[in-house]
Amino acid sequence: MTSGKKTMEIDKIVYCFTAKNGKEVILRTPRGEDLDDLVEHINSLVDEGAEILRNTRVTRDQEAEWLEKNLADIKEEKLLFLVAEVDRRIVGTSAVRKRRGYSSHVGDLGVAISKDCRNIGIGTEMLETIISEAKKAGIKTLFLRVFATNKTARHLYEKMGFKETGRTPNIFYKDRKYLDEVTMYKEL
């Protein structure tokens, strides 16, 4: 993302910490062998009805194609991507995708944590780490989109210095209700 030194490498441990539940958490870049865990992770979020953009389960083949593209994008310095691993199981993902052209200083952020691993500090540590990696990569501004009803995530983002820039009404239709999307940003 910046010329010279690569900012992320495949299968590299970036940070380790102990979650509030006493479990050891490894934040690392993904690897090809993560495929089955990533399928399980995203499908568990879909099954839960989590407030994420995806609402349909993925097949192993679909996720394999997605993972292959993302690993290539990491190597090409278009993407920063971390997984959170607990007991050899992926319980969270975070990514910053670098924009192009006149917006090449901007990154789009996404974070997803498994239901059983929320509210124990993983989201906070993961967000702090991906923000630090984004700074190292030369990103100056981060943007994210979040369901207006996702108060837990919005609180975390605000705690981390993100500010609301706008709201798109009725962009989501979930559980027979129209929901707003909130756009937030952070200057690095």
| Digit-coded pLDDT (tens) for 54-112 | 999 999 999 999 999 999 999 999 999 999 999 999 999 999 999 999 999 999 999 99
DSSP string, 4-39: SS-S--TT-EEEEEE-TTS-EEEEE---GGGHHHHH
Q: What is the pTM of this model?
A: 0.92
Quote the CA–CA distance of 12 and 82 in Å, as a whole number. 9
What 3-state DSSP class applies to 54? coil
* Mean of pLDDT over the chain: 95
**Which domains, from first to last, does the chain contain?**
13-140 (3.40.630.30)
